[in-house]
Amino acid sequence: AQKITQTQPGMFVQEKEAVTLDCTYDTSDQSYGLFWYKQPSSGEMIFLIYQGSYDEQNATEGRYSLNFQKARKSANLVISASQLGDSAMYFCAMREIGYGGSQGNLIFGKGTKLSVKP
Amino acid sequence: GAVVSQHPSRVICKSGTSVKIECRSLDFQATTMFWYRQFPKQSLMLMATSNEGSKATYEQGVEKDKFLINHASLTLSTLTVTSAHPEDSSFYICSATPGQGRPEAFFGQGTRLTVV
């Protein structure tokens, strides 16, 4: 069975500094996708970044980068130059990618609450 | 990015009544949509997979007669909470994936249900 583990319930970071949010996963699937979502207090889920299991390079999207270490089954999110608006819950998630590209539901970690200090 | 719209964003209803929540994919077709439930300070838990033109697939422990799902078109799935009780109060959120090589799932805005 698939499982996502986020061991940091809460994190603090100073504005303009970088922060790493940890995520480890467990799966027996060979083809899968890893995702990070941001959930502000309003509740919406905002897609941040994606890493495919066969992607050799780490994904980057603006200030977000995903440190993908396949052998260690980790997919940490790095946020550079933190901003006050980055304060939110962050969820790591994964989904199986089946034959023909079919995709299952997302499995979520418990989340990390990030607080950016001015 | 792709847009998923969920309505209403907030609803308060009396115990024993039913509430319908709509989830629409606005700029893509979705043969599959997912419904999640989130309790305060917790993660998202999958309730059911909504399949266009066929019955939904419910996760273990989710009452299919209480949480009715209808996916009548490629752009609309509805979740109806029947005979709601206070313990059904929660945050409900749907998601859909555009496919076509795009792996990410897009979420609706979520619905905060309060049963009084």
Structure confidence by residue, pLDDT tens digits, A44-100 = 999 999 999 999 899 999 999 999 999 999 999 999 999 999 999 999 999 988 766
Smallest Cα–Cα separation from A81: which of A23, A12, A13?
A: A13
What are the start-end ranges of the H helices in A47-112? none
Helix (H, G, I), strand (E, B) or coil at A100: helix
- Chain A residues in contact with B104 by the CB 8 A cut-off are 35, 47, 50
Cβ contacts below 8 Å, chain A against chain B, sum to 53
Smallest Cα–Cα separation from A114: which of A64, A70, A69?
A: A64
> Are B106 and A44 inside 8 Å of each other by CB?
no
Tell me how crowded residue B102 is: count the other CB atoms within 10 A of its CB.
14
Per-residue pLDDT for chain B (116 aa), expressed as one digit of tens each?
679 999 999 999 999 999 999 999 999 998 899 999 999 989 999 999 998 888 999 999 999 999 999 998 999 999 999 999 999 999 999 999 887 777 888 999 999 999 99
pLDDT tens figures, A59-70: 999 999 999 999
